[in-house]
């Protein structure tokens, strides 16, 4: 160990010799007066030395106290900074010029506006005005960060994944089945499995397995021909729970090599394809229920025993189905290309029918949906469609996605945020995190030039 006390590490001050003590070999003074004078001089010198030492001690002690105080104040300030809500980016302070935002830049703008951090955990605001996102939205914003890491391999994004999961645990605990929404839990399973493959931390795999197994056990039955109920209320069986369940089951099969997961994935996929997918057009329908749930419901073939299908198509259901078909393609090798064709048709349907002027539509502002969640649906579509396009070497869609990128880059506001309506300029009013996340995801998969 290196001695850091300095080259002359002296011990404690030694006591001075007693006045009048004669050192060996020294001759005594000739007179009493001389002795007195010498004694007074020695006393004065000793007093001056003591005073000098005292001043040094006081100075050193004062400096030490000031240093400690500075450290304490610094730690307090840093803690308050971490605990405080992240400041919203000021348009006047750091304006983003149209057409200049990058993949890293749009994520940084998003985090400045919405991310809150405290004690090593991170959680997102619901809006720029405050509140917090739901379990489902936090999960999807974790996936947004996973997208950023897979694009860049930036270790800061890998660390942020852990920070965001800590926030999820801090708000919702480890027993996620308190959440009645089975679709939320299947998306969370996927987020955990992606984190496991990114970090190698088996805690994510363990959380994914127990979440999937318990959710499947409580949500599957043979009613309406099979499939998973969307919530514990068992009102309808939806694409938004069955598609991610297929993806998750395939990922678990690839991770732990238990054939039961492959069997489960195949069973769910074939039910989904038979009940909520139009093989002629590539449209993916929202759900099937015992009775209509509102506009968009139409009777399925086979009478009331087969239920009523809501034929509304959303981008995230198209994307989820594409992801499910692509996952089955990977694990089965798909020699007949059946899964490939299913995914390709769903992709083509989305471009032809869920766009306005070639740009993925706003699923809030076009009047088709009143859910606040819908603003983030396009990001989910982009993720799974892009994975399929990349892994299957699909051609003819890159230019279309980059046209959407151009729309986003040209319509971000000065704070670098883009709302869900990509062909329109984003304003400066209250914005929601999930709606702004779709543009962030798009640029992670189709990053524009950095200059």
Give the Cα separation of 28 and 22 in Å (integer): 8
Give the containing element (helix H, strand E) for 146. Answer: helix 135-152
Which pLDDT belongs to residue 45? 43
Q: Which fold has domain 174-353?
A: Glycosyltransferase (1.50.10)
Instruction: Give the model confidence (pLDDT) of 13-56 as tens digits.
Output: 333 333 333 333 333 333 334 334 433 443 444 344 444 444 43
Please report the sign of the dihedral spanned by the C-alpha atoms of residue 13, residue 14, residue 15, residue 17: negative
Instruction: Give the model confidence (pLDDT) of 338-358 as tens digits.
Output: 999 999 999 999 999 999 999
Instruction: Give the model confidence (pLDDT) of 78-101 as tens digits.
Output: 333 333 343 333 334 367 887 899
What pTM value is reported for the model? 0.78
Over residues 59-86, mean pLDDT: 37
Which pLDDT band, with edges at 50, 70 and 90, does 291 fall under?
Answer: confident
Chain centroid offset of residue 8 CA:
53
Which pLDDT belongs to residue 14? 32
Residue 239 has pLDDT above 60, yes or no: yes
Instruction: Give the model confidence (pLDDT) of 175-203 as tens digits.
Output: 999 999 999 999 999 999 999 999 999 99
Which pLDDT band, with edges at 50, 70 and 90, does 400 fall under?
Answer: very high
Which pLDDT belongs to residue 97? 81
Instruction: Give the model confidence (pLDDT) of 131-158 as tens digits.
Output: 999 999 999 999 999 999 999 999 999 9
Give the Cα separation of 226 and 217 in Å (integer): 13
- Among 129-133, 179-183, 369-373, 428-432, the range scoring the smallest mean pLDDT is 369-373
Q: Which of 394, 315, 296 is nearest to 287 (CA)?
A: 296
Residue ranges per structural domain of the chain:
174-353
Which pLDDT belongs to residue 120? 95
């Amino acid at each position: 160990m290196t001695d850091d006390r300095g080259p002359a590490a002296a011990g404690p001050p030694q006591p001075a010799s007693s006045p009048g003590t004669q050192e060996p070999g020294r001759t005594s003074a000739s007179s009493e007066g001389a002795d007195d004078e010498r004694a007074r001089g020695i006393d004065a010198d000793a007093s001056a030395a003591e005073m000098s030492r005292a001043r040094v001690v006081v100075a050193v002690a004062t400096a030490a106290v000031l240093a400690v105080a500075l450290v304490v104040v610094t730690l307090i300030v840093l803690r308050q900074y971490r605990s405080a809500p992240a400041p919203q980016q000021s348009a006047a302070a750091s304006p983003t010029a149209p057409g200049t935002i990058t993949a890293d830049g749009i994520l940084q703008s998003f985090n400045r506006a919405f991310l809150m951090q405290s004690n090593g955990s991170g959680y997102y605001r619901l809006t720029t005005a405050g509140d917090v996102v739901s379990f489902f939205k936090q999960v999807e914003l974790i996936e947004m960060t996973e997208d950023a890491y897979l694009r860049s391999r930036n270790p800061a994004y890998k660390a942020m994944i852990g920070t965001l999961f800590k926030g999820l645990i801090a708000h919702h605990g480890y027993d996620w089945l308190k959440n009645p929404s089975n679709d939320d839990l299947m998306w969370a399973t996927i987020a955990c499995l992606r984190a496991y493959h990114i970090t190698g931390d088996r805690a994510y795999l363990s959380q994914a397995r127990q979440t999937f197994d318990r959710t499947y056990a409580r949500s599957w039955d043979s009613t309406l021909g099979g499939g998973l109920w969307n919530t514990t209320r068992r009102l309808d069986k939806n694409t938004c729970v069955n598609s991610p369940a297929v993806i998750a089951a395939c990922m678990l099969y690839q991770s732990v090599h238990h054939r039961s997961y492959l069997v489960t994935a195949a069973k769910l996929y074939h039910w989904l394809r038979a009940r909520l997918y139009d093989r002629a057009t590539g449209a993916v329908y929202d759900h099937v229920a015992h009775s209509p749930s509102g506009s968009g419901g139409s009777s399925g073939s086979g009478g009331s025993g087969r239920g009523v299908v809501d034929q509304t198509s959303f981008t995230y259901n198209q994307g989820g189905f594409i992801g499910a078909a692509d996952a089955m393609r990977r694990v089965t090798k798909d020699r007949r290309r059946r899964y490939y064709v299913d995914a390709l048709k769903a992709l083509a349907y989305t471009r032809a029918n869920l766009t306005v002027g070639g740009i993925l539509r706003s699923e809030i502002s076009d009047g088709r949906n009143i859910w606040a969640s819908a603003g983030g649906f396009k990001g989910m579509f982009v993720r799974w469609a892009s994975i399929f396009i990349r892994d299957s070497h699909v051609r003819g869609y890159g230019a279309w996605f980059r046209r959407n990128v151009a729309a986003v880059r040209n319509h971000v506001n000065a704070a670098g945020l883009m709302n869900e309506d990509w062909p329109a300029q984003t304003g400066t009013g209250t914005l929601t995190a999930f709606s702004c996340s779709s543009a962030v995801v798009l640029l992670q998969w189709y990053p524009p030039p950095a200059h």
